[in-house]
Amino acid sequence: MKYILKKGFTLIITLFIVSLLAFLAFQVIPGDPTTKLLGTEATEEAKAELRAELGFDQPVPVRYWNWLTDFLRGDMGESYSYHMPVREMLGEKLVITFLLTLVSFAFTILLSIPLGILAGSIRIRWLDSLITALDQVVMSIPPFFIGIVACFVFGITLRWFVPGNFISYTEDWGACLGYLILPALSIAIPRIAMTVKMLRGAIHRELEQDYVRTARSRGAGRGDVLRRHVFKNALLPVITFLAVSAAEIMTGTIIIEQVFTIPGVGQLLLASISNRDFPVVQAIVVILAAWIVLVNFAADLLYQLVDPRIRLR
């Protein structure tokens, strides 16, 4: 319980710092949205009136406090460019982005763990070297390049889907998930290669431990030792890495959404940065950061459950 409370307190402090930095980042940038909203020919009186309407005439601490308390109540402000609540703008887009993240993470887990265990169990030297080389190649390929190739091969050449013809989950869940398969795999493939490499290395390290030699000397077969001891111990460091992958996959969706023209928060974020639409950008940044922090918090708890030694420390 003490470990959980400590991690929970750290989580709250981290989220507070993230929200503060997200807010202050847009206060130090030269200029303000009034020029973008009113145009370069607007008078100073009109700009001053708009600044007062947007709250830019108030001290920064007051503006941050007002923004933070409103955000915690679910009020993310109003978009400067679209003149509508940010919460309404982000609703469906956030669901699509989170859905793409979850599908990518599911592919990462379902494919990397079996492949990693298989790679770590191989005893044929040349095959092990080949797997290592292929793993290195796949790790070096960026997700957006995989996405571009997937669009060209499966979209333009084979015509299995129409790039950009996205169907929202509000219309058809099955069609939505079907469209997300290739983008999700594009994000997951490099993470799968990294996880396979880590799990393979962890298995090899565990096979050199004294407890493995002791178990073998007592007559236990190699397969039995792998199943009962090695795989479990080798998975411990991989858990944290998979948590980091879940966090990084979320940021990777921002880029891959542009490749496949998926109407998630990625397109909205880039457009809002260009338009200096601070309420939209701040909300997206805080939500993405909160996702990363919460995922790492969940990983810490899971790691503590799997490895009781953490509770003792």
6-34 pLDDT, tens digit per residue, is 877 888 888 888 888 888 877 766 666 67
Q: Are 275 and 228 in contact (CB under 8 A)?
A: no
Contacts of 287 by beta carbon, 8 Å cutoff, 6+ apart: 90, 94, 265
Residue 55: predicted pLDDT: 76
Q: What is the mean pLDDT of residues 281-289?
A: 87
Mean pLDDT of the chain: 82
Q: What is the mean pLDDT of residues 193-201?
A: 89
Residue 205: predicted pLDDT: 84
Structural domain boundaries of the chain? 2-72, 90-312
Contacts of 201 by beta carbon, 8 Å cutoff, 6+ apart: 120
CA atoms lying within 13 Å on the CB side of residue 10: 13
Q: Is the pLDDT of residue 60 over 70?
A: yes
Return the minimum-mean-pLDDT range out of 13-17, 101-105, 118-122, 178-182.
Answer: 118-122
Return the minimum-mean-pLDDT range out of 13-22, 84-93, 245-254.
Answer: 245-254
Beta bridge partners of 78: 85
Q: What is the mean pLDDT of residues 229-243?
A: 75
Residue 184: predicted pLDDT: 94
Residue 1: predicted pLDDT: 67
- Output 89 or 37, whichever has higher pLDDT: 89
Distance CA 272, CA 278 (A): 7
> Would you place residue 187 in the very low, low, confident or very high pLDDT band (cuts 50, 70, 90)?
very high
Residue 313: predicted pLDDT: 52
Which CATH fold topology does 90-312 show?
Answer: MetI-like fold (1.10.3720)
**Percentage of the chain with pLDDT > 90?**
15
